[in-house]
Amino acid sequence: MKRFNVHRAIAVCAALLAFAATALGQTAQVTGRISDAGGAVVPGAQITLTNQSNGFKRETVTNDEGYYTVPLLQPEPG
């Protein structure tokens, strides 16, 4: 018969709690591509996202192909 290992049980519980905490921490991202009226991409365009509720801003710049991503955005509480 195997003995109950307290240290192993504590490690498993800690791992489960860490997983649960990250599962509850939801984030979002916005990705897009900037092009001009003729369809040509616009590299180096400044992108600013503003949260209308609190005025918090995140900024980025498009890459050589006109793409941008703004990661780790906090969703508004529902």
- Is the confidence at residue 24, as pLDDT, over 70? no
- Is the confidence at residue 5, as pLDDT, over 90? no
Residue-wise pLDDT tens digits, 50-76: 988 888 899 999 999 999 999 988 887
Contacts (Cβ under 8 Å, ≥6 apart) of 31: 67, 68, 69, 70
Q: How many domains does the chain have?
A: 1
* Domain presence at residue 20: yes
* Domain presence at residue 15: yes
Task: Please tell me the pTM assigned to this model.
Answer: 0.63
* Domain presence at residue 78: no
* Domain presence at residue 1: no
Which of 27, 73, 21, 65 minimizes the C-alpha distance to 49? 73
Domain limits at 14?
6-73
